[in-house]
Structure 1
Amino acid sequence: MGYIITFINILVSRVTRKVKRGDVSVLFVPLYHIFGLHCALSSELALGMTIVIMSKFTIEEYYILIQTHKASLIHIVPPVAVMIVNSPLLDKYDLSSVRHVMCGAAALKTVVEIKLKERLNLDCIYQGYGMTEMGVSHANTDTFYKMGSCGKALRGVEVKIEDPKTKVILGANLRGEICIKGPQVMLGYLGRPDANREIFDKEGWLHTGDVGYVDEDGFLFIVDRLKEIIKYKGNQVPPAYLEDILLKHPGVKDAAVVGVPDAHAGELPKAFVVRNDGMNNVDEQQIFDFVEDRVPPYMKLRGGVEFIREIPKNPTGKILRRKLREFPMRDENDNIDNGSGPIQVHRL
């Protein structure tokens, strides 16, 4: 699908930082991706920064380039944030030159953000919000920052949170679909009037398909994709909320949650978990109990807990939930981490 994006769309999506001519950024994000285009090319080059572009990403080569070029700003995606948090190699290199970390392409879990700040000795990890269809609409800046948020709307951007069913505009801290208007929004999809009618309403609001809320201070928080919300007996269960809880367990390295069909409840939340190294004693019941103690009854992991070796993600860090829904629950699958025997999936 083609996107009609103008020079003005790109220009107004620029995010400013306290950087100066001569500062260095190390970049592995593709320049054709909206993250690389808006945050690196249109912002940093315009400020006279030097951008070191990696031809192939490895975490150690990343550390080497940051240390060698004394990079002050780096752009990362959530999987790389997790790598840095869990990386024993980090202590071998001097990354003290890094003053700014921008994380995009997918939402960064709060628990990972906290650990990343500790490992890099930083006060802030800057997140923003955007998509190909609208460039960047929100960003944390040196002036406005709140942990866990995507920041405040950029100049000229309008945002409303709408109830997906009733279309009522919601107030502060109420969750609904994020809708955006502004000069950074694309003109439309190329040759696809049907798709344009789907994403734009009659008043010109772009419907992002993301669920989120704006707090009383104007900061935007992302909850999940509208299509990924699990519906259990009429209750809405955001997978990202459960994933954030799972990542707080000391035995969990990574996690993803999907809805599995159920004839009586509609969908049941199911967790796929990657154990931390040396934590093979962590079992399904422990994970189930850990979550149960921290959520309302309708959010319990009634769909089960399954241990796998790796959470499937796309190059920008978004979880490929479709692949997880297609997972066979059999120990012959190469990705299933079954220890010494078949997976025993816990259900209630």
Structure 2
Amino acid sequence: MSGEGGLAQYVLGAVPHGRTAIVAADGTGPLTGRALADRARRGAAGLAALGVGRGDVVALHLPNVPDFAPALCAVLRAGAAAVLCSPLATEEELTGQLALSRAAVVVTAPALRAPARAAAARAGVGAVLDLLPDRRAAESAAVPVVVRAGDPAVLALSSGTTGLPKYAVLTHGGLVANLRQAAGPLPLGTDDVLLALAPFAHVMGACGVLLRGLAAGATVVTLDRFTPAAFLGALSRHRVTQTIVPPPLVDLLATSALVDRYDLSALRVVYVGGAGAGADLERACARRLGCVVAQGYGMTEGGPMITVNPVDGRARPGSAGLPLPGVRIRIVRDGREVPAGSSGEVHVAAPGLMAGYLGDPEATRRVLGADGWLRTGDVGHVDGEGYLWITDRLKDLIKYKGHQVSPAEVEAVLTRHPAVAEAAVVGRPDARAGEVPVAFVTLRTPAIPEELVLFVAARVSAPKRIHEARIVGALPRGPTGKVLRRELRRRVRPGDMRTVTPSHPEFPGDLMAGLPVVDISGFATEAAPGPGRDAVAAEVDRICRETGFFLAAGHGVRPETRAAMFAASREFFALPAAAKNALAISRSSCHRGYFGIAAEALDEGTTGDLKEGLDTGGEHGPDHPEVLAGTPTFGPNQLPDLPGFRQAWSAYRAEAVEAAERVQRALARALGLPDDHLLAMAGGEVMYHLRLLHYPPQRHTRPAPGQLGCGEHTDYGTVTLLADDGVGGLEVMRRDGTWIHVAVPEGLLVVNLGDLMAIWTNDRWVSNPHRVVNPPDTDRYSIPLFVTPPYRARITCLPSCLAPGAEPRYAPQVAGEYLTSRLDATHPYRNPLLAARRAATPPQDG
């Protein structure tokens, strides 16, 4: 290949000019093929004006947005190589990437400007650009750059999970060859809509998805922020025909009740990448959606696409498929090629292989032979019909007393247990055995570690038996969906027997977390009591005994009321700090008003939660009896003077209180009490406190040890109703002490019990710990309504919850006194000793 543009010319020359080539999932940033080509041409001219040309490196530090496409094509047209940098990278990580790649320029987005500039300064990079300069005038004068097939086009971090990071150099000729090879086995045309979920910071996302889609003339839909609802909504709204997903999302598509809420009838092909999903799960997903589910195999060094299952009915579920045209595969064991059906290391030869690792000839020689064969480090076999089956990684094999134990084999046994959703097995160093197998598992239904250890022991030989099972909320994964075994190995130091959970998993692990949905519409004020209430009450009783959390449908809060409240909340938290602090909660006598970041510490051992909030209660004027009596939680609200705020707040509060009354009627009936028992308790009026919460992005914040968006805690009253914006981050503790990640379907409310309900029921019902681990790269908003019995209500154990002759587990509590004691323990402005302690350990801002 020679001539102007190289890879960019190949892609842009195939994009239809008169139709949408790329658009964001929310409908923003659409670019026609003509606009894409124009912006790429002007961007290349702008780079040339900065002195960027052939042999230079430009870093793309951008999220999955339409602007990525013209930026990448502009860099390629300018003759430079694009280095792909993750928008999730920390400043330190980005600094290392820029230094290693020797980038001359960083192209970023306005939201990422601060870390990009800081990293560029540390790495000695001369220019940081918000997207690309638009040089219309220079465009016509720009000299076309001649790009040769062997010129570097993309520098991509190796997707390997051990060792120091290395940049694989992928050339113009190699990437064009790979796109051409994939065109037949991965059919895609102008009638297709391709959802780009794979990160563009990885070569599979940038080239195997984005450029492949553009070169085929399809419409590419980008999804920058993943949530289950955003993913499914994009599939439905854009009538997506193809997408590529990691294994956890195959499980979501195959099993989640959330899928039934969306029209996915246009979806024809779901490609699975990053790791194998398993034959049974692939079949289940295909049956449910009525589409083809095809696993493929690739790696950064491989170009990146190597094999894929045919979509014409010849797919072999569980296999990695057939080699792309022009790709050769051999299986090597002990230095010799072995016949079909025999297992060994997978070697690949193809025109799209990397040229080598940037600046590291020794590392290149270790994996890329002079004969042109790439050692993948993967273990597998090719069957008699040419299908590749990947079974393990060479470096993942566990050496137990001289035996080589395959983690994949043990994982396959574990996932046969009905409670296990996913499993990953690694070796833990052991002085006597060398290594012993340890399993990390996520669960569908409750199980205890000892049960899983015995389950495996009954089915495998002694070297393969796991010595420990750790139950976690999700397996840590890299950007392509691969399990990060290096992270799991880090957690299994000798003697370390703690159960651990990941922070900010890239993809959801146990989606929905097993939270059941309860329709409470039958407990509305206007609903006639009937036998249906008893069935719902029985289900509520079962749930409250097990987890104390469920999702409420039929709650009566209208979507438009909810949307208006979230909009008003966002508008308030966007105000300058001075405007918010004018409503400071410390100025209130009844705990009403604004509190800032880290002002509340729900986990009392930390330095404060990474959230800000606005606390409100009922509208109590100066002549209200409780205000006249000086009751601590009664008094005026401090609401912002924003247009429409009070109306939105009043409407939402009224409908949320009605929803809470429905829940309380259901709870009362579940306890064998009259439906309105909780609404008519002695001691005054039921207290409803509505709180608006904002969790800012943590990208530019270095949390203190143990500091979360919202620390581990239980709620204080009888019950809480939470409206969630769908970003995710809510985690609930299981009875075994591990955490599950909760995804909240749009329109449902999260309902959970508080401490006073547990005291009242003598722990028959559970007040479960929970927390918020807010995603680091986006804002999160939520609106909880806390329900507490009347201030002077005396909470004593219900006779029906106490065994004959037994003593209650808890002393009687006065509801209001308990509430104020908990507020005193978590808010420094109410507690001078707490304030002094917190002042000694302030939050650490990076």
TM-score (norm 2): 0.38
Structure 2 CA distance for aligned equivalents of residues 263 and 25 of structure 1: 51
Partner of 2:403: 235
- Please, which of 325, 344, 355 is the counterpart of residue 155 of structure 1? 325
Alignment pair present for 1:58 and 2:223: no
Aligned 8 A contact 1:24 1:70 in 2: yes
Measured after TM superposition, the shift of residue 315 of structure 1 is 2.4
Q: Which moved more, 1:112-121 or 1:183-192?
A: 112-121
SS of structure 2 residue aligned to 1:102? strand
Measured after TM superposition, the shift of residue 292 of structure 1 is 3.4
Structure 2 CA distance for aligned equivalents of residues 73 and 186 of structure 1: 27
SS of structure 1 residue aligned to 2:486? helix
Structure 2 CA distance for aligned equivalents of residues 68 and 28 of structure 1: 15
Measured after TM superposition, the shift of residue 195 of structure 1 is 1.2
Alignment pair present for 1:10 and 2:175: yes
- Structure 2, unpaired ranges of 5+: 1-165, 503-731, 739-846
> Residue by residue, what CA displacement relative to the aligned partner does 1:77-131 show, whole Å, maximum 9, x if unpaired?
1222233334221111111111101111223233432332233233x32111111
> Residue by residue, what CA displacement relative to the aligned partner does 1:176-233 show, whole Å, maximum 9, x if unpaired?
1111112011111222111111112242311111111111111111111110111223
Aligned 8 A contact 2:344 2:380 in 1: yes
CA pair 176-295 structure 1, distance change in 2 beyond 3 A: same
Structure 2 CA distance for aligned equivalents of residues 57 and 21 of structure 1: 26
SS of structure 1 residue aligned to 2:301? coil
Aligned 8 A contact 2:474 2:501 in 1: no
SS of structure 1 residue aligned to 2:331? strand
- Please, which of 282, 294, 313 is the counterpart of residue 126 of structure 1? 294
SS of structure 2 residue aligned to 1:254? strand
Alignment pair present for 1:201 and 2:369: yes
- Please, which of 279, 295, 304 is the counterpart of residue 468 of structure 2? 304
Q: CA RMSD in A?
A: 2.3
Structure 1 CA distance for aligned equivalents of residues 278 and 178 of structure 2: 24
Aligned length: 334
Partner of 2:735: 339
Give the AA of the match of 1:121: G
The 5 A counterparts of 1:135-154 are 135=303, 136-143=305-312, 144-154=314-324
Measured after TM superposition, the shift of residue 287 of structure 1 is 1.7
Partner of 1:89: 258
Alignment pair present for 1:266 and 2:430: no
Partner of 1:321: 485
Structure 2 CA distance for aligned equivalents of residues 340 and 305 of structure 1: 13
Measured after TM superposition, the shift of residue 290 of structure 1 is 2.9
Structure 2 CA distance for aligned equivalents of residues 41 and 334 of structure 1: 33
Partner of 1:345: none
SS of structure 1 residue aligned to 2:347? strand
Partner of 2:394: 226
Measured after TM superposition, the shift of residue 240 of structure 1 is 2.1
Aligned 8 A contact 1:12 1:183 in 2: yes
Give the AA of the match of 1:132: T
Aligned 8 A contact 2:357 2:364 in 1: yes
Give the AA of the match of 1:44: G
Structure 1 CA distance for aligned equivalents of residues 336 and 429 of structure 2: 29
Give the AA of the match of 1:4: V
Structure 1 CA distance for aligned equivalents of residues 356 and 498 of structure 2: 44
Partner of 2:249: 80
Structure 1 CA distance for aligned equivalents of residues 484 and 167 of structure 2: 23
SS of structure 2 residue aligned to 1:272? strand
Aligned 8 A contact 1:35 1:104 in 2: no
Measured after TM superposition, the shift of residue 325 of structure 1 is 2.4
Aligned 8 A contact 1:149 1:221 in 2: yes
Measured after TM superposition, the shift of residue 340 of structure 1 is 5.0
Aligned 8 A contact 2:202 2:479 in 1: no
Partner of 1:330: 498
Give the AA of the match of 2:369: D
- Structure 1, unpaired ranges of 5+: 343-348
Structure 2 CA distance for aligned equivalents of residues 101 and 341 of structure 1: 36
Structure 2 CA distance for aligned equivalents of residues 115 and 78 of structure 1: 13
SS of structure 1 residue aligned to 2:276? coil
CA pair 265-334 structure 1, distance change in 2 beyond 3 A: closer
Which structure has more relative contact order (CA 8 Å, sep 6+)? It is 1
Aligned 8 A contact 1:307 1:337 in 2: no
CA pair 231-93 structure 1, distance change in 2 beyond 3 A: same
Give the AA of the match of 1:241: E
SS of structure 1 residue aligned to 2:178? coil
Measured after TM superposition, the shift of residue 171 of structure 1 is 1.2
TM-score (norm 1): 0.88
Structure 2 CA distance for aligned equivalents of residues 341 and 155 of structure 1: 51
CA pair 253-33 structure 1, distance change in 2 beyond 3 A: same
CA pair 311-41 structure 1, distance change in 2 beyond 3 A: closer
Q: Which moved more, 1:230-239 or 1:153-162?
A: 230-239
CA pair 119-288 structure 1, distance change in 2 beyond 3 A: farther
CA pair 46-64 structure 1, distance change in 2 beyond 3 A: same
Partner of 1:20: 189
Report the structure number with the largest CA radius of gyration: 2
